[in-house]
Amino acid sequence: MKWYKFMMIAALTCCMACNDDGGNNDNNGNNSGGNNDIPQPPVENPIDTHHYVGADLSQWLVYKEDGAVWKCEGTVIDNLPAFFAESGYNVARLRLFVDPDKSSTACQDLDYVIESATAMQAAGMNICLDFHYSDTWADPAKQHKPQAWSTLDVTALKNKIYDYTRETLQTLKNHHITPSHIQIGNEITAGMLWNTGRVSVWGESHDTPQQWDNFLGLLRNAAKACREECPDARIIVHIDRGGDAETARRYYERIADIDYDIIGLSYYPYWHGTLGQLGNTLRTLSNTFPKKAIMIVETGFGYNEWSDDSATTAYGNYASTPEGQKQFLTDLVTTIKQYDNVTGIFYWFPEETLIDWRSSHRIDLNRGLFDKETGEALPAFDALCNFGESE
């Protein structure tokens, strides 16, 4: 196993630390700045040109508690965060749900994130906090409101997203957790907090001035809370269209007055097309939004015939084998290195591994970076780290 050492983590963590003095609460701790629908000029932060190699390790802690096994060349890995950090992964992406079912696969509440992020920071990794703004999985096909927010009207919902975002970040800071990156929503191509904030860029039923006004108000308040509490953190707006340049361009043009720093894309070849299509999207976005960094905040590829992408061949000639997985990721890194605005790439659920089949937290995708039958690290484990090698 090739290991990549990096020396800048401590400095990056310090320089991107959340500001403990931000905020607009009054002396009683009450929110005085939530629902502000007047668009403010976006903060024009310079692009952070450091290269980030990330891993969405959200399931790691509960997998560990349920007896998962990770190995490297036959040796059991006791400290998985340290293994990732020492291998060259410098960001841990962690999802957060509002009030999740702890016995489900979507089990990451705030206490869970605090425990997991503490371990990641101790290992030397930066934290990317991924707000789902839901009690369960949020993605392009579903953006369900948290149950406790379900009866709120649009004004109350805008206030709630501001308060919740701000209070969450305050709690993290109180536990000495300092996100370097914050996602305000997960794959929000069609908006968030449906149906109040549901939108479309293609003239569908939710592509109306009112729906966009609702969504932009929600997004604006989420960003406002982040900027107040963590002014040095980079704010990410994340959609799923890594291979769809036109939808991506239309979308980010519609949110032009939102205060954010990074265009975040998901790119899974079996859903989003070829590396050529990804390159077209990156080129289009780089040319249209030259002041925005771009990150691939989710990617993945199967390593055996049971992976959910094994039946799809339109994305290229990569076999669903350990060697095919490594070759795909190697070629993916080569592709994104052609674009100066692309500053990060994160693998989603690399910690998938050998675990008791009875675990209620088990997710079977056969796309992890460990063999699910043996727990052994796969050849692709190091492939993404080449993105940061030159540094």
**208-219 confidence digits (pLDDT tens):** 999 999 999 999
Whether residue 22 has pLDDT greater than 80: no
Is residue 84 over pLDDT 70? yes
State residue 166's pLDDT score: 98
Q: Would you state the pLDDT for residue 34?
A: 54
pLDDT at 216: 98
Q: Is residue 34 one of the residues assigned to a domain?
A: no
Whether 11 is in a domain gets the answer no
Q: What CATH number corresponds to the domain at position 245?
A: 3.20.20.80
Asked whether the predicted pLDDT for residue 12 surpasses 90, the reply is no
Confidence of residue 28 (pLDDT cuts 50, 70, 90): very low
User: In the prediction, which pLDDT does 49 show?
Assistant: 86
Nearest-angstrom CA–CA distance, 100 and 98? 6
Helices 275-288 and 322-336: crossing angle in degrees, nearest 10, is 20
What is the reported pLDDT for 6?
A: 37
Task: State how far Cα 91 lies from the chain centre.
Answer: 10
Task: Look at residue 86 and tell me whether its pLDDT is greater than 90.
Answer: yes
pLDDT of residue 348: 98
Over residues 159-172, the pLDDT tens digits come to 999 999 999 999 99
pLDDT for the residue 141: 96
- Residue 369 confidence (pLDDT): 98
Q: Would the pLDDT of 139 be above 70?
A: yes
Domain membership of residue 372 (yes or no) is yes
Element (H, E) at 181: strand 181-184
> Is 25 domain-assigned?
no
In-domain check, residue 368: yes
Structure tokens at 251: 């979308």
**For residue 1, is it within any domain?**
no
Lowest mean pLDDT: which of 200-204, 215-219, 314-318, 326-330?
314-318
**Is position 35 within any domain?**
no
205 inside domain: yes
Mean pLDDT of the 347-355 span: 98
What burial letters (b/e) apply to 75-91, b meaning 16+ CB within 10 Å?
eebeebbbbbbebbbbb
Q: Tokens for 267? A: 């790119």
Residues annotated as catalytic (active site), given as ranges: 187, 298
Nearest-angstrom CA–CA distance, 4 and 54? 13
- Residue 388 is predicted with a pLDDT of 78
> Strand locations in 300-372, DSSP E?
342-348
Q: What is the mean pLDDT of the chain?
A: 90
pLDDT digits (tens, 9 = 90+) for 236-280: 999 999 999 999 999 999 999 999 999 999 999 989 999 999 999
Residue 299 sits in which domain range?
53-388
pLDDT at 227: 98
Band (344; pLDDT cuts 50, 70, 90): very high
State the pLDDT at residue 259.
Answer: 98
C-alpha distances out from residue 98 to 108, 161, 209, 306, 390, Å: 8, 11, 28, 32, 39
Distance CA 170, CA 233 (A): 13
HSE, side-chain direction, 13 A CA sphere, residue 43 = 18
CB-based contacts of 129, cutoff 8 Å, min separation 6? 94, 96, 113, 117, 169, 172, 179, 181, 182, 183
pTM of the model: 0.89
DSSP state of 252: H
Give me the number of domains the chain comprises: 1
Q: Is the pLDDT at 309 greater than 70, yes or no? A: no
> Residue 310: its pLDDT value, please?
52
pLDDT exceeds cutoff 50 at 3: no
